[in-house]
Amino acid sequence: MEGATIKEERKIVVAVDESKESMYALSWCLSNLVSHSSKNTLVLLYVKPPPVYSSYDAAGYMFYSDAVVALKKYGTDMVNSVMERTDAIIRNYGTNINVERITGSGDAKDVICSTVGKLEADTLVMGSHGYGFFKRALLGSVSDYCAKNVKCPVVIVKHPEDK
């Protein structure tokens, strides 16, 4: 037979962040990719940006410990906020899918690609931020990079408002 084999258990990674685009991508995934007849594991991957300063840097960049604590708390609050939004979306679909949550730290595109590889994921789903020319040139495109560098199928989902 020509083609792919049907796999009963699938691991789908959805890269989530605080953007509406990534929440829409999660919804799309639940509506279109998650099958009720197969066993699926949904892995929600949130990547925190790498810490630029630390309290152990050279004296010129040393932070007061209060500021370090505040920054860490902000990061944790952000993760919790994003994961709570994902929980609400998953509940809304009424599916009893197995959900895992992973928080990484570093350059989003590198962390996403390495996590997908380590997990041997079957599919990666990402929101496309639909940046304009200048922002794309400046920031690069995480979804472009991942589409080229991960081994599994990649779904790039645009938010209807970005069309």
Given the rule CB under 8 A, which residues bind a second copy? Answer: 1-7, 10, 20, 23-24, 26-28, 30-33, 35-37, 85, 88-89, 92, 123, 128, 143-144, 147-148, 151-158, 163
- Residue 1 CB, nearest approach to a second copy (Å): 6
- Residue 100 CB, nearest approach to a second copy (Å): 19
- Residue 67 CB, nearest approach to a second copy (Å): 32
Radius of gyration over every alpha carbon of the chain, rounded to an integer in angstroms: 18
Nearer Cβ to a second copy (62/97): 97
- Residue 155 CB, nearest approach to a second copy (Å): 5
Nearer Cβ to a second copy (18/57): 18
Tell me how far apart the alpha carbons of residues 154 and 141 are, in angstroms, rounded to a whole number: 14
Residue holding tokens 């390495």? 114
Burial classification of residue 106, based on how many CB atoms lie within 10 Å of its CB (0-12 exposed, 13-18 middle, 19 or more buried): middle
Nearer Cβ to a second copy (66/84): 84
Are the CB atoms for 130 and 162 separated by under 8 Å?
A: yes
Tell me how far apart the alpha carbons of residues 35 and 114 are, in angstroms, rounded to a whole number: 26
Nearer Cβ to a second copy (68/89): 89
Residue holding tokens 């990484």? 104
Hey, what amino acid is at 114?
S
